[in-house]
Structure 1
Amino acid sequence: MNQAQRQRLTELISQPIDWQARLDRYTSLGIGGPADAVVTVDRHNELQALLVFLAEENIAWRLIGRGTNLLVRDEGFAGVIILLGAAFRTVQRQPGENSDTVLLRAGAGYSLGRLSLQCIDWQLTGLEFACGIPGSLGGAVIMNAGAWGSDMASMVRSIKLITAEGDKKLCRRELDFSYRCCNGLAAYQRKAVVAEVELELTKGNGSAIRQYCNELQSRRKQAQFCQYPNAGSFFKNPPNDSAGRLIDASRLKGTVVGGAMISEHHGNFFVNKGGATAEDVLKLMQLVQTKVKIDSGVALEPEVHFI
C-alpha cells in the first residue's frame, strides 16, 4: 500500500492497525509471513466502509477468525487481514417458532466453544459437539464444522453478510451445506464477510446437556491430545473412513519435515515442533497425500484453509 492508502485506512479504523504484521502471531500453528496490515473492526458500519475502500483501491483482503484452521504461507499476504472486534462478539436469545426452540443471534466473531458452554447454562441442546472446538462461529459456518455426527448445518437458520454494497441475508436453503463446506457462500468469496449467524436450538435438560458435553470433551482430549501448536484436523475424512486411520495405516505418525511433524498421538494432526515453516507443512502434506494414495487408493483433501 502507498502512503495515501495507509493514511486513509488509519482514518477508517478506530482500533490501532498492526502494520507489516507477522501472521504467525494470529494462527494456532504459529506459522506465517507478514501482511501489509492487520485491522480489527469494531462496528458494522466500519466494516462496510472498509470493504468499500478496499474495493475502490483494489487492495486484496482476507478475514480470519481465531486462526485455528489456517496455514499462512511463508511469504505472507500482500493486503489487509481483517479481524472481527467487539460488535461481532455478542449473542442474543429470542423465542423460537415453537415452545421447544430458541433462536440465538450471535456475532460471527463469537467463540464457538464459548457459545457451546453458554448453551449448557441456557439449557439448550444441539451445540454440544462444539465443546472444545477453539474456532469462531463465523469460521465454523463457512466450513460447516462438525464432530461426533453433528455439524453446524443442523442448526443454522440464516446468516447476515456485510458487503461493500450493504447487508444481505441468506437463509438456510441458500447456504447449501455439505460436508465441511457451505457451498452457498462461494459466490461471495472475497466480496462479503459473514457478520452474524442465526441458530435454532432446542430446549433440553441442563444436567443431561452438561454431562454429554463433559463426555465429549473428555473423548476429544483423549483422541486429540497435542502438546505442540497445531491447526486441528488437517485433512477431511473421506466417506465412511477417517483420515487419521489412513495416515496411521501408512505408518506416517511421527514423520518429520523440517520443524513440522505428524503427531505421534493423532495421525491427522500436523504440529509445529519449533521453527516450522509453511513450506515444511506443505511438503509434509504432499508426502502424506502421495503415500496414502499409494497405500489405500484414497486422495486426501485438506480441511485447513490456506493464505
Structure 2
Amino acid sequence: MLEKIIDFSRYSSVKIGTPLKVSVLENDNEISQEHQIIGLANNLLIAPGAKNLALLGKNYDYICDQGEWVEVGGAANSSKIFNYFRAHDLGGLEFLGQLPGTLGALVKMNAGMKEFEIKNVLESACINNEWLGSEALGLSYRNSKFNGVVLRARFKKTHGFREEVLKACKSMRKSHPKLPNFGSCFKNPPNDHAGKLLEGAGLRGYRLKRVGFAKEHANFLVNLGGAGFEEALDLIELAKTRVLQEYGIHLEEEVKILR
C-alpha cells in the first residue's frame, strides 16, 4: 500500500488543514472499514490529527459501458462522469456539471441539486466488495445508511441528456462565493432552508477571525485567508447555537468533519 503526504491547506476546497499521511488504495483487498476516504476533499473539514485517511488510486478512476448500465470507479471525478454522460447522450446526472467530487463521495452523500439526486439514477454500488442495490443503501437527502467504502457503482441508462437541467443547475450556482469553501455548510431542515435561517440569525457576511459566512449566500462558510480547523469548527458551532436560539431548529452539518 502506497502512502503520501497531502497538505490539506492546499488540497481541500476550503484550503484548511495541515500536511497529513494518506494511504493510496489500488486494490480491493487493501480496503479497511477504518479508512476515511478523502476523495478530492470538497466537502471535508479535516482535523490536524485526523487518522486513517485514504484515497482510491488510479485503478478506481474509470468509466465503462456494461450494456444495461454504466459502471463508474470510485475515484472517477464528477467532471469525468458528467462529460461521459453528455457525450453518450445519457440523462440523469446533468447536475454533476456543477458539483465537484469523486464517485464515492457523490454516492455516500447522495449528492444533488434540488430534486436532481444520485439515487434517481443509481442502480447499485459495490461497498467493501459487496454489491448492494440502490434501495439497500438507504439514500436520502444528503445522506446514506451504509458503512464502508464505495469502490464502484452502476448507473441506469436513460437516453437523452437534458440541457435544460444543466442550465437550471448553472443558474443555482450563480450565488455561490468565489472564496475557498466546502459548498453548503448545513443541510436544509425539513420544509426550510439553512441559508435563510442563518441569514435571519444575522450570520450572512458574519466573520469570526479568519473564517466567515459568505455575503453571497449565508450557508457557505468561507476561508478569508489562512484559516485553521478550530476557527472553522467554532464558527459552525456558533451558527448552530444562534439558529437554535432564534428558531428552535437544530442545524445538521452537510460538511463532513474528519478527526
Report if TM-score (shorter chain) is over 0.5: yes
Please state if 1:133 is matched with 2:99. Answer: yes
With over 3 angstroms needed to count, the CA separation of the structure-2 counterparts of 1:137 and 1:222, relative to structure 1, is: same
Instruction: Write the deviation string for residues 129-155 of structure 1: whole angstroms up to 9, x where unpaired.
Output: 222101111101101111121211111
With over 3 angstroms needed to count, the CA separation of the structure-2 counterparts of 1:39 and 1:25, relative to structure 1, is: farther
For 1:175, the equivalent position in structure 2 comes to 137
Please state if 1:202 is matched with 2:158. Answer: yes
**Superposed displacement of residue 303, structure 1:** 0.5
Identity %: 30
Instruction: Write the deviation string for residues 63-99 of structure 1: whole angstroms up to 9, x where unpaired.
Output: 11110000012x332x342111211110012332xxx
2:239 partner letter: V
For 2:165, the equivalent position in structure 1 comes to 212
What SS does the corresponding residue of 1:300 show, helix, strand or coil?
A: coil
Distance 1:214 1:296 in 2: 34
Contact 2:77 2:101 (C-alpha < 8 Å) held by counterparts: yes
Q: CA RMSD in A?
A: 1.9
**Superposition map of 1:25-104 within 5 A:** 25-35=10-20, 37-41=21-25, 43-44=26-27, 47-49=28-30, 51=32, 61-73=35-47, 75-77=48-50, 79-96=51-68, 103-104=69-70
What SS does the corresponding residue of 1:95 show, helix, strand or coil?
A: coil
Contact 1:159 1:171 (C-alpha < 8 Å) held by counterparts: yes
Instruction: Write the deviation string for residues 141-198 of structure 1: whole angstroms up to 9, x where unpaired.
Output: 1011111212111111111123xxxx21111221121221111x1xx3xxx4211011
Q: What residue ranges of structure 1 are gaps of 5+ in the alignment? A: 1-11, 97-102
For 2:4, the equivalent position in structure 1 comes to 18
Contact 1:34 1:76 (C-alpha < 8 Å) held by counterparts: no
When Rg is computed on C-alpha atoms for both structures, the one with the higher figure is: 1
Q: What residue ranges of structure 2 are gaps of 5+ in the alignment? A: none
Distance 1:113 1:129 in 2: 10
Distance 2:228 2:149 in 1: 28
What SS does the corresponding residue of 2:40 show, helix, strand or coil?
A: coil
**Superposition map of 1:101-140 within 5 A:** 103-140=69-106
Distance 2:244 2:165 in 1: 37
2:121 partner letter: M
Distance 1:114 1:223 in 2: 24
Please state if 1:223 is matched with 2:175. Answer: yes
Distance 1:104 1:270 in 2: 35
For 1:3, the equivalent position in structure 2 comes to none
Distance 1:126 1:49 in 2: 32
Distance 1:274 1:76 in 2: 21
Q: Extract structure 1 runs of 4+ deviating beyond 2 A.
A: 21-26
For 2:221, the equivalent position in structure 1 comes to 270
Task: Say which structure is richer in helix.
Answer: 1
With over 3 angstroms needed to count, the CA separation of the structure-2 counterparts of 1:61 and 1:216, relative to structure 1, is: closer
What SS does the corresponding residue of 1:265 show, helix, strand or coil?
A: coil
Distance 1:141 1:22 in 2: 25
**Superposed displacement of residue 25, structure 1:** 3.0
TM-score in terms of structure 1 length: 0.79
2:115 partner letter: G
Contact 1:120 1:210 (C-alpha < 8 Å) held by counterparts: no
Q: Which is worse superposed, 261-270 or 122-131?
A: 122-131
TM-score in terms of structure 2 length: 0.92
With over 3 angstroms needed to count, the CA separation of the structure-2 counterparts of 1:285 and 1:161, relative to structure 1, is: same
